Structure formats: C-alpha cells, structure tokens
Amino acid sequence: MKLEVEIEGRLRIVELAPATSSGQYHVTLDGQPLEIEARMLRPGVLSIIIDGRSHRVVLEDDAPAINGNDHALYLDGRRFPYRIEDPRSLKTRRAHAGGADGPKVIKASMPGRVVRVLVERGQAVEANQGVVVIEAMKMQNELKSPKAGTVTEMRVVPGDTVTVGDVLAVID
C-alpha cells in the first residue's frame, strides 16, 4: 500500500507492507526503509515502536476540516493535521485554489449560533469589514470580509445554528 501524506506542509510518501510475524511491518518513508512494530489498540488509537522508541498516536476522526485538512492526529501532546490523497487530485486542487481574484466564501470557523448579520445581499463591503457575528459558549466571533467587493450571497439569518465550514456568505 502506497500513500502520499501531506503533513506539516510537506508531502511524504509512505509504503506499508506487513512482514512475516504479526504486528511487524516493512515501511518506506520517502524511499528510506524503516522496520516498524504497530498495533491498533482500538479504532483510532495506534501503538508504534520504531527502533525501540514507543509512540502512542490518536486519530481525531471527526476533526473539522479547518485549513482544508481532512484529518488530524495527536502525538506526544502535539496535533498534526494531515491530508492523504493521490498525487493527481492534490495537484488538481492546488491548481484550482487560484489567487486573490474571484468570488470569496466566508465560512464559519467555529460552531455556534448566528446572532447578528451586519450586511445584506447586494451591499458593497470593504476588506476586513464585519459580515456575520456567531456566538458560542458566551463568546462572540465577528467574521470579516477577506476583500473589498459586493455581497453576492447571504446564506444565514440571526438564530441559525452553524457548524465549522458552513458557508455563511459570498463576496465578489
């Protein structure tokens, strides 16, 4: 099994193959061979021993897709967001990400309830102008326009419940 893992801003190529005895794996990372002993303790909790070093790794499978990352794992108290895909689709997505031009979507960066909508459809906005205010756990978060332009869509009204990644408005 060969996988491309995008992690900490780098693309790593990992190949896994079970070795003869149980729990042993031949692994290559970016072409370098590693001998690894691995156990899935329960779904999402992995024990890996590499060269005598013991690591417990925990998968955060319901992780929100902030920053475009699909998954995250915890290792030694640190959270590693990562993405796994085949090289073709990764390049495609990068090509499509585009520059500063074109319509911009404003997404909810935290789950919560919409308490105020500060602009309306068709309205002109400045860069960094407040657009929507979301509240959760007694704290309010004002989402701002990433660029100057016009509000072409406003998808929420006060009282709506939103979750991370929901599109709130579009600015063009």
Partner 1 sequence: MLRPNLPSPAFKKILIANRGEIALRIHRACRELGIATVAVYSDADRAALHVLESDEAHWLGPPPASESYLRGDLILDIASRTGADAIHPGYGFLSEDADFAEACEHAGVKFIGPRASAMRALGSKTSARRAADAVGMPRIPGSTCALASLAEAYAVADEIRYPVMLKAAAGGGGKGMRAITRLEDLQAAFEAAQSEALRAFGSDEVYLEKLIERPRHIEIQILADEHGNCLYLGERECSVQRRHQKVIEEAPSAVVDPALRRRMGEAAVRLAQSQGYTNAGTVEFLLDDEQNFYFLEMNTRLQVEHPVTELVTGLDLVHLQIRIAQGEPLPLMQDDIHLRGHAIECRVYAEDPDNGSFPSPGRITRLLQPGGPGIREDCGIYEGWVVPMEYDPMLSKLIAYAPTRELAIARLLRALDEYVIGGIRTNLGLFRRILSDEDFRTAPIDTGFLDRLLAQSPSAAAAGDETVAAVAAAFFENARSIPAPASQTVGSAWKSAARREGLR
The residues binding partner 1 (CB under 8 A) are 1, 3, 5, 7-8, 10, 12, 14, 16, 18, 21-23, 25, 27, 29, 34, 36-50, 52-64, 66-67, 71, 73-80, 82, 84, 109-113, 136-139, 141, 161, 163
Min dist. Cβ of residue 63 to partner 1 (A) = 7
131: which 2 tokens? Answer: 């657009």
Q: Is the Cβ of residue 16 or residue 124 nearer to partner 1 in the bound state?
A: 16
Q: Which amino acid is at 133?
A: V
- For residues 19 and 94, what is the distance between their CA atoms, to the nearest angstrom? 36
Radius of gyration of the chain (CA): 21
- In the bound state with partner 1, the residue whose beta carbon lies nearer, of 25 and 147, is 25
How far apart are alpha carbons 164 and 149 in whole angstroms? Answer: 24
Give min distance, CB of 153 to partner 1, in A. Answer: 20
Q: How far is the CB of 95 from partner 1 (least distance, A)?
A: 24
Which CB sits closer to partner 1, 66 or 105? 66
Minimum gap (Å) between residue 13 Cβ and partner 1: 9
**Closer CB to partner 1, 104 or 113, in the complex:** 113
Q: Which residue, 89 or 123, is less far from partner 1 as judged by CB?
A: 89
| Residues 109 and 66 sit within 8 Å (Cβ to Cβ) | yes
Closest approach, Cβ 150 to partner 1, in A, equals: 27
